């Protein structure tokens, strides 16, 4: 049984990501304008980290992969790969990512950590929103819809096929 979902995400998720970017920007402005002791280091960290985080997340992690997939999609109509179900290693990796900001407070000044966290939150929202529009533009050029899919491999309990494919517009 194959599961298909909108690529890269739904319109509701798009709205949530824009809202997170706007909310993060508002929080940055409030903190930068009200807190005298946070201001210089906080603003400098945010302004330095935001463009770097946005560029890395949008360009390196999204656009390059999508351009490679788009070339295959134009030829074959499907771009897929086989993945293993993620187990305890993925859980540990996610846990490390979630807990790392708390440990960063022991190493770096609070203003730097807050600036970094806020810049990452805002940059992910901004870059995901721009990528969503980038994919919609590619769909418009191809005159189709691009969807992501997941399909179990028969006889393999721990592996599945994952990818994106072209479908006709409805």
Q: For 21-66, what is each residue's pLDDT tens digit?
A: 999 999 999 988 887 776 788 899 999 999 998 888 877 888 999 9
Task: Render pLDDT for 2-20 as a digit per residue (tens, 0 to 9).
Answer: 999 999 999 999 999 999 9
User: CA distances (Å), 8 to each of 14, 27, 82, in order?
Assistant: 9, 27, 19
Q: How far is CA 125 from CA 35, 72, 94, in A?
A: 24, 28, 19
Assigned token pair, 89: 């290693």
pLDDT of residue 167: 93
pLDDT digits (tens, 9 = 90+) for 146-161: 999 999 888 887 788 9
The strand pairing partners of 84, in sequence order, are 159
Average pLDDT over the chain, rounded to whole?
Answer: 89
């Amino acid at each position: 049984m194959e599961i298909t979902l909108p690529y890269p995400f739904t319109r509701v998720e798009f709205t949530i990501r824009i809202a997170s970017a706007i909310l993060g920007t508002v929080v940055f402005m409030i903190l930068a304008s009200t807190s005298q002791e946070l201001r210089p280091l906080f603003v400098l960290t945010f302004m330095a980290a935001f463009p770097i985080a946005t560029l890395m997340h949008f360009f390196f992690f999204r656009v390059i992969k999508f351009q490679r997939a788009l070339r295959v999609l134009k030829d074959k109509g499907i771009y897929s790969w086989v993945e293993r179900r993620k187990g305890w290693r993925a859980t540990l990796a996610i846990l490390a990512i979630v807990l790392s900001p708390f440990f960063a407070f022991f190493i770096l000044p609070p203003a730097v950590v807050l600036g970094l966290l806020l810049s990452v939150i805002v940059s992910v929202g901004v870059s995901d929103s721009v990528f969503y529009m980038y994919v919609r533009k590619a769909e418009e050029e191809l005159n189709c819809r691009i969807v992501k899919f997941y399909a179990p491999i028969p006889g393999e309990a721990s592996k599945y096929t994952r990818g994106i494919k072209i479908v006709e517009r409805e």
